[in-house]
């Protein structure tokens, strides 16, 4: 029986994933007058800001000092926050509010397992803070997605065994992290990218708690 639900945020609860990539594009354009290929977006999805920037500078074959690296992270975050300025509950992805209330009715505990340090701010803007029993803090875990740490921390936070939880993700790194945590993985997106998910829905609007319960081990 399902006792816990572990949510990713960007691309699952709200369509903020594209803002992350827009901010990375702005950074790369303003600093080095270069453009990241669109295919690079999936490589940074679910990946912490530090690991994302590392991937970007490796891809662009650029060397930066530690101080410059930290400065670039701060600039990207400022750009990202600017893109979030007008975020309201209208930006909650279709089907998510219903899913959260169905989980609540069934007394299933709900935790956030996002890599984003901006997650509390975003949930506040979406008016969803009270929908969560626990927010796992990504700065407190050793390794980011695809490592299982944030999902294990989220399950521990709601005091539910990982194997009694399902995790919801839109990224390859996220599905790998859920699987590594031995949590039932539910993907939202394309079969090509998220084929490792135990169960897949094409969009958030297609997510059905009944289907998850039927397929859950």
**Binds 115: which of ligand G6P, Mg ion, none (CB < 5-8 Å by kind):** ligand G6P
- Choosing from 43, 52, 185, 204, the residue that interacts with ligand G6P (CB under 6 A) is 52
The smaller minimum CB distance to ligand G6P, of residues 96 and 115, is found at 115
The smaller minimum CB distance to ligand G6P, of residues 150 and 200, is found at 150
- Separation CA 137–CA 45 (nearest Å): 18
**Binds 118: which of Mg ion, ligand G6P, none (CB < 5-8 Å by kind):** ligand G6P
Q: Give the DSSP letter string of 119-174.
A: HHHHHHHTT-GGG-SEE--GGGSSS-TTSSHHHHHHHHHTT--GGGEEEEESSHHH
Query: 164 an active-site residue?
Result: no
CB 53 within 8 A of CB 69: yes
Radius of gyration of the chain from Cα atoms? 17
Q: Give the DSSP letter string of 183-212.
A: PEEEEES-TTT-TTSSEEESSGGG--HHHH
**Binds 170: which of Mg ion, ligand G6P, none (CB < 5-8 Å by kind):** Mg ion
Using CB under 6 A as the criterion, what x/- string covers residues 93-122 for binding ligand G6P? ---------------------xxxxx----
Helix axis angle for 17-32 and 66-83, nearest 10°, is 130
Query: 8 an active-site residue?
Result: yes
How many residues line the site for Mg ion (CB under 5 A)?
Answer: 6
- Choosing from 6, 7, 10, 176, the residue that interacts with Mg ion (CB under 5 A) is 10
- Choosing from 13, 14, 17, 148, the residue that interacts with ligand G6P (CB under 6 A) is 17
- CB atoms under 10 Å from CB of 7, counted, come to 25
- Choosing from 45, 149, 194, 212, the residue that interacts with ligand G6P (CB under 6 A) is 45
- Separation CA 207–CA 160 (nearest Å): 22
Q: Which stretch binds Mg ion (CB under 5 A): 5-13, 89-97, 133-141, 201-209?
A: 5-13
CB 193 within 8 A of CB 172: yes
Binding site for ligand G6P (CB under 6 A): 10, 17, 20, 44-49, 52, 77, 114-118
Catalytic residue ranges: 8, 10
């Amino acid at each position: 029986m399902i006792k816990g639900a572990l949510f990713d945020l960007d691309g699952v609860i709200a369509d903020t994933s594209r803002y992350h990539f827009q901010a990375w594009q702005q950074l790369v354009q303003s600093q080095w007058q270069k453009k990241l290929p669109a295919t690079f977006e999936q490589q940074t999805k679910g990946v912490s800001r530090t690991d994302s920037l590392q991937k970007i500078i490796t891809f662009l074959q650029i060397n930066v000092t530690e101080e410059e690296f930290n400065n670039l992270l701060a600039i990207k975050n400022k750009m990202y926050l600017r893109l979030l300025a007008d975020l309201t509950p209208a930006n909650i992805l279709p089907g998510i509010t219903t899913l959260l209330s169905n989980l609540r009715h069934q007394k299933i505990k709900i935790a956030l397992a996002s890599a984003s340090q901006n997650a509390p701010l975003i949930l506040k803007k979406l008016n969803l803070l009270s929908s969560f029993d626990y927010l796992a803090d990504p700065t407190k875990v050793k390794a980011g997605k695809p490592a299982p740490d944030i999902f294990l921390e989220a399950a521990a936070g709601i005091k539910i065994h990982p194997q009694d939880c399902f995790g919801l993700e839109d990224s390859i790194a996220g599905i790998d992290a859920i699987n590594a945590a031995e949590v039932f993985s539910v993907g939202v997106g394309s079969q090509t990218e998220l084929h490792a998910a135990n169960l897949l829905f094409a969009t958030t609007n297609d997510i059905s708690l009944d289907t998850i319960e039927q397929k859950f081990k």
